[in-house]
């Protein structure tokens, strides 16, 4: 019995020795692969050219490195359709980050032929169950509804994709930090979009948000302050100059009028009269004053509709801006 036990132990020891020697050989081989065979320098991966190059002497050790990343470039429709090895990029704008399967709404097969009534019925059942599986718990259903709201409002306001992505990230953080109890999904989604637009220097006024949102202005402002405070978001005060290009474009003003409006706002900042005043009102007044200075026909009513503020505000503010400019010219 003792002889059998001794032989078993010796066999296990030999197996361990063989395994350790193989692992040491693999480690030495990996070290040799990471070192230049000519000068012993460090090797780096050049992903742009698909090469492995020595940092010291520039020797190309390998020139057929496989690019394991996705290939997004496509120059025509046939190239775009031939990219079978890649999928859509992940995005924060979808509740599942775009990783789940989507069943198209077209009732056609892979050859473009219409499905039979029986097959259409089966596909409809598959779509129903697919939607149920994609939103299996309340958190995912909440996220899906909120991100849909963000996308709808951003489209109505003409906001770019980077703003939607940022708003989606803000909402996800609020959901993960359990900030939603006691607040509506639409209110938090609107506040996230408002903050994201300001962070991206493409701000929209509260009145504009209220028009496309399903919550009123009071709830929006209250929720926005709460989200910014709890998530510690660093959002600068809105700059009136950021509104000028959009207002000037919608009023079809010249580049000279836009430059003049920007200069009026800069002069106002230097004198400090912008403090405590609505940036939207100042921007609208600057655009109207600039149109007067460049002899372009724009009425206060037209500016009021574009900026969504009262004509009284425009009258009061544009006079202040012109007084500041007159004072700077005299000085």
Can you list the positions of beta strands (E) in the chain?
43-46, 51-54, 60-62
Sign of the CA dihedral with 224 first, then 225, 231, and 233 last: positive
Q: Read out DSSP for 17-49?
A: HHHHHHHHHHHHHHHHHTB-TTT-PBEEEETTT
Within 13 Å, how many C-alpha atoms sit on residue 22's CB side?
A: 6
- DSSP category for residue 238: P
- DSSP category for residue 69: S
Separation of alpha carbons 152 and 149, rounded Å: 5
The first and second tokens of residue 30, run together, are: 């990996």
User: Phi-psi category of 299—alpha, beta or left, where left has phi over 0 and alpha has psi -120 to 50?
Assistant: beta
Separation of alpha carbons 303 and 315, rounded Å: 11
Per the CB < 8 A criterion, the answer to whether 167 and 154 are in contact is yes
Cβ-based neighbours of 135, under 8 Å, separated by 6 or more: 95, 141, 144
- DSSP category for residue 59: -
CA distances from 300 to 23, 292, 317 (A): 80, 11, 12
Q: Which long-range contacts (CB under 8 A, 24 or more apart) does 135-141 make?
A: 135/95, 139/175, 140/95, 140/96
20 in a labelled binding site: no
DSSP bridge partners of 114: 108
39 in a labelled binding site: yes
Give the residue carrying structure tokens 């019925």: 121
Report the binding-site residues.
36, 39, 54, 57
Report the binding-site residues for Zn(2+).
36, 39, 54, 57
């Amino acid at each position: 019995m003792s002889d059998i036990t001794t032989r078993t132990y010796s066999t296990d020891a030999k197996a361990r020795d063989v395994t350790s020697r193989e692992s040491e050989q693999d480690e030495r081989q990996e070290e040799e692969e990471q070192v230049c065979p000519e000068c012993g320098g460090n090797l780096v991966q050049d992903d742009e050219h698909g090469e492995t190059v020595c940092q010291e002497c520039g020797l190309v050790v390998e020139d057929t490195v496989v690019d394991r990343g996705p290939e997004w470039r496509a120059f025509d429709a046939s190239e775009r359709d031939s990219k079978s090895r890649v999928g859509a990029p992940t995005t924060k704008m979808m509740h599942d980050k775009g990783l789940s399967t989507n069943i198209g709404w077209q009732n056609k097969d892979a050859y473009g032929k219409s499905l039979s009534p029986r097959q259409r019925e089966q596909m409809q059942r598959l779509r129903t169950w697919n939607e149920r599986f994609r939103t299996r718990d309340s958190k995912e259903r909440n996220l899906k509804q909120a991100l849909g709201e963000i996308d709808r409002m951003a489209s109505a306001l003409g906001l770019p994709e980077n703003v939607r992505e940022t708003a989606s990230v803000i909402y996800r953080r609020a959901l993960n930090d359990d900030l939603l109890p006691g607040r509506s999904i639409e209110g938090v989604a609107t506040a996230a979009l408002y903050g994201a637009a300001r962070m991206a220097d493409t701000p929209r006024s509260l009145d504009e948000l209220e028009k496309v949102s399903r919550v009123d202005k009071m709830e929006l402002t209250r929720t926005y302050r709460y989200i910014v405070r709890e998530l510690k978001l660093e959002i600068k005060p809105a700059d009136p100059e950021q509104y000028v290009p959009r207002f000037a474009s919608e009023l079809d003003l010249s580049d000279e009028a836009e430059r003049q409006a920007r200069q009026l706002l800069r002069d106002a900042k230097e004198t400090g009269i912008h403090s405590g005043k609505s940036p939207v009102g100042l921007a609208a007044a600057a655009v109207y004053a600039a149109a007067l200075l460049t002899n372009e026909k724009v009425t206060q009513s037209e500016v009021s509709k574009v900026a969504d503020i009262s004509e009284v505000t425009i009258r009061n503010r544009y006079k202040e801006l012109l007084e500041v400019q007159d004072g700077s010219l005299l000085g």
